[in-house]
Protein backbone atom coordinates (compact mmCIF):
# COMPACT_ATOMS: atom_id res chain seq x y z
CA UNK A 1 0.00 0.00 0.00
CA UNK A 2 1.21 3.51 -0.82
CA UNK A 3 0.65 5.82 2.16
CA UNK A 4 0.96 9.60 2.39
CA UNK A 5 1.59 10.35 6.07
CA UNK A 6 1.10 13.99 7.10
CA UNK A 7 2.77 14.66 10.43
CA UNK A 8 2.90 17.49 12.94
CA UNK A 9 4.96 15.73 15.66
CA UNK A 10 8.45 14.37 15.02
CA UNK A 11 8.56 11.71 17.73
CA UNK A 12 5.21 10.15 16.81
CA UNK A 13 6.16 10.44 13.14
CA UNK A 14 9.30 8.40 13.81
CA UNK A 15 7.30 5.73 15.61
CA UNK A 16 4.43 5.39 13.17
CA UNK A 17 6.32 5.82 9.91
CA UNK A 18 8.83 3.23 11.15
CA UNK A 19 6.00 0.85 11.98
CA UNK A 20 4.17 1.33 8.67
CA UNK A 21 7.45 0.88 6.80
CA UNK A 22 8.14 -2.29 8.78
CA UNK A 23 4.70 -3.57 7.81
CA UNK A 24 5.83 -3.33 4.19
CA UNK A 25 3.97 -0.21 3.09
CA UNK A 26 5.51 2.40 0.82
CA UNK A 27 5.35 5.53 2.96
CA UNK A 28 6.07 9.16 2.10
CA UNK A 29 6.17 11.48 5.10
CA UNK A 30 6.91 15.13 4.26
CA UNK A 31 7.38 16.23 7.85
CA UNK A 32 10.45 15.78 10.02
CA UNK A 33 11.22 12.78 7.82
CA UNK A 34 10.95 14.51 4.46
CA UNK A 35 14.59 13.41 4.25
CA UNK A 36 14.60 10.16 6.24
CA UNK A 37 18.36 9.63 6.19
CA UNK A 38 21.40 11.76 7.06
CA UNK A 39 19.28 14.37 8.84
CA UNK A 40 22.08 15.57 11.12
CA UNK A 41 21.98 15.97 14.89
CA UNK A 42 19.25 18.61 15.21
CA UNK A 43 16.42 16.11 15.60
CA UNK A 44 14.70 14.39 18.50
CA UNK A 45 14.75 10.94 16.91
CA UNK A 46 17.21 9.11 14.64
CA UNK A 47 17.12 8.48 10.91
CA UNK A 48 14.92 5.76 9.44
CA UNK A 49 17.84 4.31 7.57
CA UNK A 50 16.00 1.75 5.43
CA UNK A 51 13.24 4.12 4.26
CA UNK A 52 13.46 5.08 0.58
CA UNK A 53 11.20 7.57 -1.21
CA UNK A 54 10.18 7.43 -4.87
CA UNK A 55 12.17 10.31 -6.46
CA UNK A 56 9.22 11.19 -8.70
CA UNK A 57 7.00 11.71 -5.64
CA UNK A 58 9.68 13.82 -3.98
CA UNK A 59 9.99 15.92 -7.14
CA UNK A 60 6.22 16.45 -7.31
CA UNK A 61 6.11 17.51 -3.67
CA UNK A 62 9.00 19.92 -4.18
CA UNK A 63 7.25 21.37 -7.20
CA UNK A 64 4.18 22.14 -5.07
CA UNK A 65 6.46 23.72 -2.48
CA UNK A 66 8.08 25.97 -5.08
CA UNK A 67 4.74 27.41 -6.16
CA UNK A 68 4.23 29.03 -2.73
CA UNK A 69 6.20 31.66 -0.90
CA UNK A 70 8.91 30.64 1.55
CA UNK A 71 7.64 29.79 5.02
CA UNK A 72 4.32 28.40 3.85
CA UNK A 73 3.51 24.80 4.76
CA UNK A 74 3.43 22.75 1.57
CA UNK A 75 1.03 20.33 3.28
CA UNK A 76 -1.61 23.08 3.08
CA UNK A 77 -1.52 23.05 -0.73
CA UNK A 78 -1.61 19.45 -1.91
CA UNK A 79 -2.94 18.78 -5.39
CA UNK A 80 -5.15 15.95 -6.56
CA UNK A 81 -2.46 14.89 -9.00
CA UNK A 82 0.00 14.50 -6.14
CA UNK A 83 -2.42 12.75 -3.77
CA UNK A 84 -3.42 10.31 -6.52
CA UNK A 85 0.04 8.74 -6.16
CA UNK A 86 -1.21 7.14 -2.94
CA UNK A 87 -3.82 4.63 -1.86
CA UNK A 88 -4.22 6.05 1.65
CA UNK A 89 -3.66 9.39 3.36
CA UNK A 90 -3.05 9.45 7.13
CA UNK A 91 -3.40 12.89 8.70
CA UNK A 92 -1.89 13.32 12.14
CA UNK A 93 -4.39 15.55 13.92
CA UNK A 94 -4.11 18.84 11.99
CA UNK A 95 -7.72 19.63 10.96
CA UNK A 96 -6.64 22.28 8.49
CA UNK A 97 -4.82 19.71 6.32
CA UNK A 98 -8.11 17.89 5.89
CA UNK A 99 -10.14 21.06 5.38
CA UNK A 100 -7.74 22.65 2.88
CA UNK A 101 -7.04 19.45 0.92
CA UNK A 102 -10.34 17.60 1.05
CA UNK A 103 -11.17 18.01 -2.63
CA UNK A 104 -7.73 16.67 -3.52
CA UNK A 105 -8.01 13.79 -1.04
CA UNK A 106 -11.61 12.68 -0.97
CA UNK A 107 -11.28 10.00 -3.66
CA UNK A 108 -8.53 8.29 -1.62
CA UNK A 109 -8.88 6.53 1.72
CA UNK A 110 -8.32 9.30 4.28
CA UNK A 111 -7.63 8.53 7.93
CA UNK A 112 -7.64 11.14 10.68
CA UNK A 113 -5.16 9.91 13.32
CA UNK A 114 -5.90 11.61 16.65
CA UNK A 115 -3.06 12.45 19.05
CA UNK A 116 -4.79 13.88 22.10
CA UNK A 117 -5.42 17.40 20.85
CA UNK A 118 -9.04 17.13 19.79
CA UNK A 119 -11.74 19.25 21.43
CA UNK A 120 -15.48 19.71 20.93
CA UNK A 121 -14.96 22.31 18.20
CA UNK A 122 -12.60 19.99 16.31
CA UNK A 123 -15.03 17.08 16.55
CA UNK A 124 -17.72 19.24 14.97
CA UNK A 125 -15.39 20.12 12.10
CA UNK A 126 -14.44 16.48 11.53
CA UNK A 127 -18.05 15.33 11.51
CA UNK A 128 -18.56 17.10 8.19
CA UNK A 129 -15.73 15.13 6.58
CA UNK A 130 -16.71 11.94 8.37
CA UNK A 131 -20.08 12.20 6.67
CA UNK A 132 -18.14 12.27 3.38
CA UNK A 133 -16.04 9.16 4.07
CA UNK A 134 -13.27 10.24 6.46
CA UNK A 135 -12.12 7.42 8.76
CA UNK A 136 -10.99 8.06 12.34
CA UNK A 137 -8.31 6.22 14.31
CA UNK A 138 -8.39 7.22 17.97
CA UNK A 139 -5.47 7.10 20.34
CA UNK A 140 -7.39 6.91 23.65
CA UNK A 141 -10.82 5.64 24.70
CA UNK A 142 -11.29 8.82 26.74
CA UNK A 143 -11.76 10.78 23.53
CA UNK A 144 -15.28 9.39 23.49
CA UNK A 145 -15.98 11.83 26.35
CA UNK A 146 -15.45 14.87 24.10
CA UNK A 147 -18.70 16.75 23.45
CA UNK A 148 -19.82 16.25 19.81
CA UNK A 149 -17.59 13.15 19.54
CA UNK A 150 -17.71 12.19 15.88
CA UNK A 151 -17.01 8.48 16.38
CA UNK A 152 -14.20 6.16 15.42
CA UNK A 153 -13.28 3.33 13.10
CA UNK A 154 -10.51 1.98 15.31
CA UNK A 155 -8.77 2.58 18.62
CA UNK A 156 -5.00 2.24 18.15
CA UNK A 157 -2.82 3.56 20.93
CA UNK A 158 0.67 4.99 20.59
CA UNK A 159 3.38 2.39 21.10
CA UNK A 160 6.91 1.81 22.29
CA UNK A 161 9.23 -1.13 21.76
CA UNK A 162 9.96 -3.01 25.02
CA UNK A 163 13.20 -4.21 23.45
CA UNK A 164 14.36 -0.57 23.38
CA UNK A 165 12.78 0.86 26.55
CA UNK A 166 14.19 -1.48 29.20
CA UNK A 167 16.98 -2.13 31.73
CA UNK A 168 16.10 0.41 34.42
CA UNK A 169 18.69 0.52 37.20
CA UNK A 170 17.73 3.63 39.17
CA UNK A 171 21.22 4.15 40.52
CA UNK A 172 20.98 7.96 40.37
CA UNK A 173 18.77 9.47 43.07
CA UNK A 174 17.00 12.05 40.91
CA UNK A 175 13.40 12.82 40.07
CA UNK A 176 13.17 13.42 36.33
CA UNK A 177 10.65 14.62 33.77
CA UNK A 178 10.78 15.04 30.00
CA UNK A 179 8.75 17.76 28.28
CA UNK A 180 9.09 20.65 25.89
CA UNK A 181 9.31 24.23 27.21
CA UNK A 182 7.36 23.31 30.34
CA UNK A 183 7.73 26.67 32.06
CA UNK A 184 6.78 28.57 28.92
CA UNK A 185 3.71 26.44 28.40
CA UNK A 186 2.70 26.93 32.02
CA UNK A 187 -0.60 25.38 33.08
CA UNK A 188 -0.78 23.16 29.99
CA UNK A 189 2.14 21.17 31.45
CA UNK A 190 1.40 21.88 35.14
CA UNK A 191 4.84 23.42 35.47
CA UNK A 192 4.05 25.16 38.79
CA UNK A 193 3.09 21.83 40.33
CA UNK A 194 6.19 20.17 38.89
CA UNK A 195 8.40 22.83 40.47
CA UNK A 196 6.57 22.69 43.81
CA UNK A 197 6.54 18.89 44.10
CA UNK A 198 10.18 18.36 43.10
CA UNK A 199 11.71 21.30 44.99
CA UNK A 200 12.89 19.23 48.00
CA UNK A 201 14.67 16.67 45.81
CA UNK A 202 17.50 16.31 43.35
CA UNK A 203 15.79 16.80 40.02
CA UNK A 204 16.31 17.06 36.28
CA UNK A 205 13.92 18.52 33.72
CA UNK A 206 14.77 17.46 30.17
CA UNK A 207 13.51 18.70 26.83
CA UNK A 208 13.83 21.65 24.44
CA UNK A 209 13.27 24.99 26.13
CA UNK A 210 13.98 23.74 29.65
CA UNK A 211 17.02 25.65 30.88
CA UNK A 212 16.13 26.45 34.49
CA UNK A 213 19.20 27.10 36.61
CA UNK A 214 20.31 24.01 38.47
CA UNK A 215 17.90 21.46 36.98
CA UNK A 216 16.80 22.43 33.45
CA UNK A 217 18.80 20.13 31.19
CA UNK A 218 17.50 21.20 27.77
CA UNK A 219 17.33 18.92 24.78
CA UNK A 220 19.27 15.68 24.88
CA UNK A 221 20.03 13.06 22.27
CA UNK A 222 17.83 10.02 21.82
CA UNK A 223 20.55 7.80 23.26
CA UNK A 224 20.84 10.02 26.32
CA UNK A 225 17.06 9.99 26.77
CA UNK A 226 17.14 6.19 26.93
CA UNK A 227 20.00 6.29 29.43
CA UNK A 228 18.39 8.91 31.67
CA UNK A 229 15.18 6.86 31.83
CA UNK A 230 17.26 3.85 32.92
CA UNK A 231 19.58 5.55 35.38
CA UNK A 232 17.29 7.79 37.43
CA UNK A 233 15.11 6.73 40.34
CA UNK A 234 11.71 8.38 39.86
CA UNK A 235 9.69 9.86 37.00
CA UNK A 236 7.16 12.62 37.82
CA UNK A 237 4.42 12.85 35.20
CA UNK A 238 2.43 16.08 35.12
CA UNK A 239 0.62 15.60 31.79
CA UNK A 240 0.22 17.88 28.80
CA UNK A 241 -3.29 19.26 28.53
CA UNK A 242 -5.59 18.33 26.91
CA UNK A 243 -3.87 14.99 26.09
CA UNK A 244 -5.08 11.73 27.64
CA UNK A 245 -1.47 10.51 27.84
CA UNK A 246 1.78 11.35 26.07
CA UNK A 247 4.73 9.51 24.57
CA UNK A 248 7.08 10.44 27.41
CA UNK A 249 4.71 8.75 29.87
CA UNK A 250 4.83 5.51 27.84
CA UNK A 251 8.61 5.71 27.51
CA UNK A 252 9.09 6.08 31.25
CA UNK A 253 6.51 3.48 32.25
CA UNK A 254 7.88 0.91 29.81
CA UNK A 255 11.50 1.50 30.80
CA UNK A 256 10.65 0.51 34.36
CA UNK A 257 11.35 3.78 36.15
CA UNK A 258 8.61 4.13 38.80
CA UNK A 259 6.08 6.76 37.73
CA UNK A 260 4.45 9.23 40.11
CA UNK A 261 1.64 11.13 38.36
CA UNK A 262 -0.90 13.88 38.87
CA UNK A 263 -4.51 12.80 39.24
CA UNK A 264 -7.65 13.73 37.32
CA UNK A 265 -8.20 17.11 38.98
CA UNK A 266 -4.91 18.55 37.75
CA UNK A 267 -4.58 16.34 34.69
CA UNK A 268 -7.80 17.60 33.11
CA UNK A 269 -7.66 21.15 31.81
CA UNK A 270 -9.87 23.66 33.62
CA UNK A 271 -11.07 25.21 30.38
CA UNK A 272 -12.14 21.80 29.02
CA UNK A 273 -13.26 20.23 32.30
CA UNK A 274 -16.28 18.56 30.67
CA UNK A 275 -14.03 16.66 28.24
CA UNK A 276 -12.54 14.33 30.91
CA UNK A 277 -9.65 13.37 28.66
CA UNK A 278 -6.85 12.58 31.14
CA UNK A 279 -6.48 8.80 31.24
CA UNK A 280 -3.57 8.24 33.64
CA UNK A 281 -5.70 7.56 36.78
CA UNK A 282 -7.31 4.61 34.99
CA UNK A 283 -4.05 3.35 33.47
CA UNK A 284 -2.07 3.38 36.74
CA UNK A 285 -3.31 1.37 39.70
CA UNK A 286 -2.16 3.55 42.58
CA UNK A 287 0.38 1.80 44.79
CA UNK A 288 0.81 -1.13 42.42
CA UNK A 289 2.34 -0.05 39.09
CA UNK A 290 2.82 3.61 39.94
CA UNK A 291 1.27 6.37 42.03
CA UNK A 292 -1.46 8.90 41.27
CA UNK A 293 -2.67 11.80 43.40
CA UNK A 294 -3.77 15.42 43.15
CA UNK A 295 -2.25 16.22 46.56
CA UNK A 296 1.29 17.60 46.16
CA UNK A 297 2.23 16.48 49.67
CA UNK A 298 1.14 12.91 48.97
CA UNK A 299 3.17 12.91 45.77
CA UNK A 300 6.21 14.23 47.62
CA UNK A 301 5.85 11.43 50.18
CA UNK A 302 5.67 8.83 47.41
CA UNK A 303 8.77 10.28 45.74
CA UNK A 304 10.67 10.34 49.03
CA UNK A 305 9.83 6.68 49.68
CA UNK A 306 11.02 5.66 46.22
CA UNK A 307 14.22 7.67 46.57
CA UNK A 308 14.97 6.07 49.93
CA UNK A 309 14.15 2.46 49.01
CA UNK A 310 15.69 1.16 45.80
CA UNK A 311 14.17 -2.31 46.12
CA UNK A 312 10.69 -0.89 46.52
CA UNK A 313 11.26 1.44 43.56
CA UNK A 314 12.38 -1.55 41.48
CA UNK A 315 9.25 -3.51 42.37
CA UNK A 316 6.90 -0.64 41.48
CA UNK A 317 8.83 0.05 38.28
CA UNK A 318 8.70 -3.60 37.23
CA UNK A 319 4.92 -3.67 37.68
CA UNK A 320 4.68 -0.43 35.71
CA UNK A 321 6.72 -1.92 32.88
CA UNK A 322 4.40 -4.91 32.66
CA UNK A 323 1.35 -2.62 32.56
CA UNK A 324 2.98 -0.48 29.88
CA UNK A 325 3.71 -3.55 27.78
CA UNK A 326 0.10 -4.69 28.19
CA UNK A 327 -1.27 -1.38 26.91
CA UNK A 328 1.39 -0.02 24.54
CA UNK A 329 3.70 -2.73 23.23
CA UNK A 330 4.86 -2.49 19.65
CA UNK A 331 3.76 -5.93 18.46
CA UNK A 332 0.18 -5.39 19.61
CA UNK A 333 -0.07 -1.95 18.03
CA UNK A 334 1.55 -3.19 14.81
CA UNK A 335 -1.07 -5.94 14.57
CA UNK A 336 -3.84 -3.38 15.13
CA UNK A 337 -2.56 -1.15 12.32
CA UNK A 338 -2.14 -4.16 10.05
CA UNK A 339 -5.69 -5.35 10.64
CA UNK A 340 -7.16 -1.88 10.21
CA UNK A 341 -5.30 -1.03 7.03
CA UNK A 342 -6.11 -4.43 5.53
CA UNK A 343 -9.77 -4.05 6.45
CA UNK A 344 -9.97 -7.05 8.75
CA UNK A 345 -11.31 -5.07 11.73
- At 232-251, the pLDDT tens digits run 999 999 999 999 999 999 99
Q: Are residues 112 and 186 in the same domain?
A: no
Which pLDDT score is estimated for 69? 81
In terms of residue numbers, what domain contains 252? Answer: 172-328
Q: Are residues 181 and 230 in the same domain?
A: yes
Average pLDDT over residues 252-280: 93
Q: Are residues 92 and 50 in the same domain?
A: yes
In a domain, 269, yes or no: yes
Q: Are residues 23 and 147 in the same domain?
A: yes
Biggest CA–CA distance in the chain, Å, is 62
What's the Cα-to-Cα distance from 67 to each of 19, 60, 64, 117, 281, rounded to whole Å?
A: 32, 11, 5, 31, 48
Q: Are residues 247 and 152 in the same domain?
A: no
The pLDDT tens digits of the residues spanning 52-65 come to: 999 999 999 999 99
In a domain, 149, yes or no: yes
Which pLDDT score is estimated for 43? 87
In a domain, 165, yes or no: no
Q: Are residues 319 and 212 in the same domain?
A: yes
The pLDDT tens digits of the residues spanning 62-108 come to: 999 998 888 789 999 999 999 999 999 999 999 999 999 999 999 99
Mean pLDDT, the chain, rounded, equals 96
Q: Which of 171, 175, 172 is nearest to 299 (CA)?
A: 175
Which pLDDT score is estimated for 130? 97
Residue 344 has pLDDT above 80, yes or no: no
Average pLDDT over residues 305-324: 98
Q: Which residues contact 275 (CB under 8 A, 6 or more apart)?
A: 119, 120, 145, 146, 147, 242, 268, 269
CATH number at residue 66: 3.40.50.11930
pTM for this entry = 0.95
Q: Are residues 305 and 230 in the same domain?
A: yes
Q: Are residues 128 and 216 in the same domain?
A: no
Residue 181 has pLDDT above 80, yes or no: yes
CATH number at residue 287: 3.40.50.2000
Q: Are residues 65 and 100 in the same domain?
A: yes
In a domain, 299, yes or no: yes
In a domain, 74, yes or no: yes
Long-range interactions of 315-318: CB distance < 8 A, separation 24+:
316/258, 316/288, 316/289, 316/290, 316/291, 317/168, 317/170, 317/255, 317/256, 317/257, 317/258, 318/256
Residue 42 has pLDDT above 90, yes or no: no
Overall domain count for the chain: 2
The pLDDT tens digits of the residues spanning 201-224 come to: 999 999 999 999 999 999 999 999
Which pLDDT score is estimated for 91? 98
In a domain, 167, yes or no: no
Residue 345 has pLDDT above 70, yes or no: no
Q: Are residues 267 and 131 in the same domain?
A: no
- The Cα–Cα gap between 208 and 253 comes to 21
Binned at pLDDT 50, 70 and 90, residue 151 comes out as very high
Q: Are residues 67 and 27 in the same domain?
A: yes
- The Cα–Cα gap between 277 and 268 comes to 6
In a domain, 48, yes or no: yes
Q: Are residues 324 and 335 in the same domain?
A: no
Amino acid sequence: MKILYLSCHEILEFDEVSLLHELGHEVFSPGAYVEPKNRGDQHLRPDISTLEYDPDIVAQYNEISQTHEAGKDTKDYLTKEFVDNFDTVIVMHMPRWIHLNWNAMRERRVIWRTIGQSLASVEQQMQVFRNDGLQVVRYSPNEANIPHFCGQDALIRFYKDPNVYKNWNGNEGFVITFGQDMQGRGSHCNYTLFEEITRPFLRKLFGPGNHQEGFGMGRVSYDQLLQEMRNNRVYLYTGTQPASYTLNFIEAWMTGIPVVALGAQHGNADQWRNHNLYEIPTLITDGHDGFVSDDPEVLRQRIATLLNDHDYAAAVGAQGRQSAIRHFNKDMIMNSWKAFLEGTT
